[in-house]
Amino acid sequence: MSDSGASRPVAVIIGMMGAGKTRVGREVSQMLGLPFRDADLEIEREVGMSIPDYFSRYGEPAFREVESDLIRRTLEEFDGLFALGGGAPMTPATQDALADYIADGGRVIYLQADPKEAMERANRGGGRPMLNGGDANERWMRLYKQRDPVFTRIANIHVRTHGSTPQMAARKVMNMIEERVVHVDVVAADDYNVRIGEGALNHLAGVLGDKPTRIALIHTQPVQRHSDRARALLRQAGYEVSDIVIPDAEAGKTITVANGIWERLGNEGFTRSDAVVGVGGGAVTDLAGFVAATWMRGIRYVNCPTSLLAMVDASTGGKTGINTKVGKNLVGSFYTPAGVLADMTTLASLPNDIFIEGLGEVAKSGFISDPEILRILEDHAAELRAFDGATLIGSPLEDVVAELIERTVKVKARHVSADLKEAGLREFLNYGHTLGHAIEKLEHFRWRHGNAVAVGMVYAAELASLLGYIDRDLVDYHRSLLASLGLPTSWNGGSFEDVLALMHRDKKARGNTLRFVVLDGIGHPVHLDDPPADAVEEAFRRIQQ
């Protein structure tokens, strides 16, 4: 939000007559301890008569003028929850005011009720001048056809309330209000949002939009409960869903798996306007993005990461790829998603060891860019190490994890925004990866990525210390912090010759020259080209202990 000193509403609720804006708005305001205002009630107070009376005496144009003026003032001076009347967002002046509010970080929530439910409520409530004359239901549907596309376009949050009680709908709205949103603004590519919070998956239809007819839902078996939820949301929104299950982890990232999916897309008539949704860990989001980037030279895709590692790393940044026999991610494409939905509830099913490995990438972002991440990791190391998904949601640790995800994604967004195709700045995100990828390959991917990167960071710190970039204390800090989180800091599973050969094949390598990312202080990564061979070997010897 703007820090200009002016108050702004926490959220503005729009929707059709009978959608439940006032009832749901009041529930949410109680849950969050915020004041609530209903535009229609405020107008009645201001003009000293009921809206039906004002309509019949002065007509709709005069009413809309009073309404848009009150909305504009409230958007500038009120810091609670604000519900607008059914037709308010159709007025150009109100549309402009809402666009300014969104540009200032505001949330305009479109409460998408089931038309039958909303019509019933609207008729029951009475006092709605727009439904006077003729068949009320027919008039409601006519208005709905005019307004729905406009509301969909204006709002930056869409909440479907079909079949929900007011309390359930309020809970959905509250989760979306409390979400953390990181905007990734990419030079020479479409920008997108990473949404982090409970219920973030509810944005799926809003991010996909109304162009796609068919959705390829790509997921693995272990995340079945999350893919079931995604499928239900997609079907509710009217999409045709092709369910595509792939092998778990790195076994799913192969040309054979990709080819099988291309064949299915062809057989099922997927066009350029259809879309892909990836639900799962980093391997799934990598593969789903690669399929989307290559089908008909690029179709829309949305990532729904279900592991900490995928939320902070693979799903954001527009890197897609598959593995080959000679190395990891050597075949791929830079292709940005339409959005990333990091739903915190998916972490509830995450085993402890898979959560811990994600902390490797979180710590990396702290070392290269945001020291506050390191402070949070230090302060909460014991709780993070003892992570139990079953107790996460609603616990104090949930907010700690959400902040770590948000900060890590912001680090990635800063590097990716300026350098989508990894020509310079983005390479700093590869801190710890040169050795880390070699370990993964030599371990036949039995070692998890975040664990390999943790050892890789210790290696990079040892190398930087040997060459005088950092002092011994910072090397020791790498070891102690990573170990306190339950991450490995040494590896003894292969010879230096094997590791060296793989490091030469690393994507950062230039010709026959080894290229590393090292630190010359916390938050200050630098490129290290062609370091002395004896230092490269000595640093390796030190991580074997």
The span from the CA of 384 to the CA of 138, in Å, is 56
Residue 170 pLDDT > 60: yes
Instruction: Please tell me whether residue 163 adopts helix, strand or coil conformation.
Output: coil
Q: Please state the residue numbers annotated as binding site for substrate.
A: 40, 64, 86, 147
- Strand-pair category, 36-38 with 525-529: unpaired
Give the C-alpha distances (Å, rounded to integers) separating 214 from 135, 204, 208, 239, 340: 36, 14, 11, 6, 19
Whether 25 and 84 share a structural domain: yes
Whether 339 and 234 share a structural domain: yes
pLDDT of residue 46: 93
Residues 272-289 have pLDDT tens digits of 999 999 999 888 999 999
Position 464, amino acid: A
Backbone Cα Rg of the chain:
26
Asked if residue 393 belongs to a domain, the reply is no
Instruction: Among 156, 178, 200, give the residue marking a domain's end.
Output: 178
Asked if residue 513 belongs to a domain, the reply is yes
Written as six digits, the tokens of 501 are: 């050969």
Q: For residue 188, name the pLDDT band (cuts at 50, 70, 90).
A: low
Whether 208 and 152 share a structural domain: no
Residues 68-124 have pLDDT tens digits of 999 999 999 999 999 999 899 999 999 999 999 988 889 999 998 888 888 877 766
Higher pLDDT, 327 or 156: 156
Whether 160 and 291 share a structural domain: no
Residue range 483-489: average pLDDT? 98
The span from the CA of 530 to the CA of 242, in Å, is 48
Whether 171 and 274 share a structural domain: no
Written as six digits, the tokens of 491 are: 């590896």
The span from the CA of 199 to the CA of 180, in Å, is 12
- Residues recorded for the chain: 545
Asked if residue 134 belongs to a domain, the reply is yes
Phi, psi of 96 (to 5 degrees): -65, -45
Whether 143 and 267 share a structural domain: no
Task: Give me the sign of the Cα torsion angle 40, 44, 45, 46.
Answer: positive
Q: Where are the beta strands (DSSP E) in 258-413?
A: 275-280, 300-305, 319-324, 327-334, 339-343
Higher pLDDT, 416 or 291: 291
Domain with residue 135: its CATH number is 3.40.50.300
Residues 333-374 have pLDDT tens digits of 888 899 999 999 999 999 999 999 999 999 999 999 999 999
Q: Please state the residue numbers annotated as binding site for Mg(2+).
A: 22
Whether 200 and 329 share a structural domain: yes
First to last CA, the chain: 49
Q: Measuring CA to CA, which residue among 311, 289, 301 is closest to residue 182?
A: 311
Task: Give me the sign of the Cα torsion angle 132, 138, 141, 147.
Answer: negative
Instruction: Among 298, 318, 350, give the residue marking a domain's end.
Output: 350
pLDDT of residue 414: 86
Whether 165 and 259 share a structural domain: no
Q: Measuring CA to CA, which residue among 409, 423, 353, 407 is closest to residue 384?
A: 353
Instruction: Please tell me whether residue 75 adopts helix, strand or coil conformation.
Output: helix
Whether 271 and 164 share a structural domain: no
Structural domain for 461, as ranges:
416-543
Domain with residue 512: its CATH number is 1.20.1090.10
Q: Please state the residue numbers annotated as binding site for Zn(2+).
A: 361, 433, 449
Asked if residue 208 belongs to a domain, the reply is yes
pLDDT of residue 95: 95
Residues 10-32 have pLDDT tens digits of 999 999 988 889 999 999 999 99
Asked if residue 259 belongs to a domain, the reply is yes
Residue 296 region by backbone torsions, left for phi larger than 0, else alpha for psi between -120 and 50, else beta: left
Q: For residue 444, name the pLDDT band (cuts at 50, 70, 90).
A: confident
Written as six digits, the tokens of 84 are: 């607008």
Q: For residue 133, name the pLDDT band (cuts at 50, 70, 90).
A: low
The span from the CA of 19 to the CA of 6, in Å, is 30
- Other beta carbons within 10 angstroms of residue 538's beta carbon come to 13
The span from the CA of 100 to the CA of 79, in Å, is 16
Residue that is written with structure tokens 């064949």 in the block: 263
Tell me which long-range contacts 145-151 makes (C-beta under 8 A, separation of at least 24): 146/90, 147/16, 147/86, 147/87, 147/89, 147/90, 148/16, 150/89, 150/90, 150/95, 151/14, 151/15, 151/16, 151/89, 151/110
Whether 102 and 206 share a structural domain: no
Residue 6 pLDDT > 80: no
Total count of domains within the chain? 3
Asked if residue 391 belongs to a domain, the reply is no
Residue range 500-528: average pLDDT? 84
Give the C-alpha distances (Å, rounded to integers) separating 30 from 27, 169, 176: 5, 14, 16
The span from the CA of 29 to the CA of 24, in Å, is 9
Task: Give me the sign of the Cα torsion angle 422, 424, 425, 427.
Answer: positive
Burial of 236 from C-beta contacts in 10 A (0-12 / 13-18 / 19+):
middle
Whether 114 and 254 share a structural domain: no
The mean of the pLDDT values for the chain is: 89
Whether 104 and 232 share a structural domain: no
Q: Mean pLDDT lowest for which of 82-86, 92-96, 246-250, 513-517?
A: 246-250
The span from the CA of 505 to the CA of 20, in Å, is 59
Asked if residue 131 belongs to a domain, the reply is yes
Domain with residue 277: its CATH number is 3.40.50.1970
Instruction: Among 133, 153, 178, give the residue marking a domain's end.
Output: 178
Q: For residue 511, name the pLDDT band (cuts at 50, 70, 90).
A: low
Q: Please state the residue numbers annotated as binding site for ATP.
A: 18-23, 128
Task: Give me the sign of the Cα torsion angle 382, 387, 391, 393.
Answer: positive
Q: Please state the residue numbers annotated as binding site for NAD(+).
A: 248-253, 282-286, 306-307, 319, 328
Q: With contact defined as beta carbons under 8 Å apart, do 362 and 330 qualify?
A: no
Written as six digits, the tokens of 339 are: 């959005």
Q: With contact defined as beta carbons under 8 Å apart, do 141 and 115 qualify?
A: yes
Asked if residue 281 belongs to a domain, the reply is yes
pLDDT of residue 353: 96
Phi, psi of 12 (to 5 degrees): -120, 130
Q: Please state the residue numbers annotated as binding site.
A: 18-23, 40, 64, 86, 128, 147, 248-253, 282-286, 306-307, 319, 328, 361, 433, 449
Q: Report the predicted TM-score, pTM, of the whole model to 2 decimal places.
A: 0.81
The percent of residues in the chain predicted with pLDDT above 90, rounded, is 66
Burial of 16 from C-beta contacts in 10 A (0-12 / 13-18 / 19+):
buried
pLDDT of residue 489: 97
Q: For residue 248, name the pLDDT band (cuts at 50, 70, 90).
A: confident
Residues 292-334 have pLDDT tens digits of 999 999 999 999 999 999 999 866 767 788 887 776 777 888 8
Phi, psi of 243 (to 5 degrees): -85, 120
Position 354, amino acid: I
Residue 43 pLDDT > 60: yes
Q: Measuring CA to CA, which residue among 504, 416, 426 is closest to residue 183?
A: 416
